[in-house]
Amino acid sequence: SSPDSDGCTPELEKAGLLNKTKIAEGGKKLRKNWSPSWVVLVGNSLVFFKDPKSQTPSSWRPGNSRPESSVDLRGAQVLWANELSSKKNVFKLRTVTGNEFLLQSETESLIKEWYNTIKNVIDRLDRE
Ligand code: I3S
């Protein structure tokens, strides 16, 4: 049987490098500060890691890593937001608590994959 046959370890759905900036905290606007972030989608959470070089999909394990922050996707929204940046391929993620992030990639196919994957998780949680 698989190591997670008991279903207790959340499934890693996606991981990769994106540019990220937080633009609001609890509804309060923040100054942009873009930086590369290793982003991991696992279970109902999007987890951000500061040091992309030290993280790879195969090295990531729950409890054995140092996330910079994490976002609960329940009740969250994703919206394409190219008007919020001079960069291309940007979407905004807004949490129920009013935290807002912009996520960006130079590669259109890659950002579309992330948008769709996150949207699917949010939609699935909305139906629960
Ligand atoms: O939306 P803004 O405020 O024009 O965003 C730009 C600024 O945050 C800028 O920083 P400073 O104004 O603190 O120097 C950033 O360097 C830019 O990257 C921000 O714009 P983009 O268009 O890259 O999201």
Express each pLDDT in 4-36 by its tens digit. 556 566 676 899 999 999 999 999 999 999 999
Q: Which atom of ligand 1 is nearest to the CA of 32?
A: 8
Minimal-distance CA residue to ligand 1 atom 7: 32
Minimal-distance CA residue to ligand 1 atom 11: 32
**Model pLDDT for residues 38-88, shown as the tens digit of each residue:** 999 999 999 998 765 655 555 555 555 678 899 999 999 999 999 999 999
Distance 64 CA to ligand 1 centre (A): 34
ipTM of the complex: 0.90
Q: Which atom of ligand 1 is nearest to the CA of 21?
A: 24
Minimal-distance CA residue to ligand 1 atom 6: 32
Distance 46 CA to ligand 1 centre (A): 24
Q: What is the pTM of this model?
A: 0.85
DSSP for the chain, written as a single string: --TTTTS-SPPEEEEEEEEEEEEEETTEE-----EEEEEEEETTEEEEES-GGG--TTT--TTSS-EEEEEE-TT-EEEE-GGG-SSSSEEEEE-TTS-EEEEE-S-HHHHHHHHHHHHHHHHHHHH-
Taking CB atoms and a 6 Å cutoff, what residues make up the pocket around ligand 1? 31-32, 34, 85-87
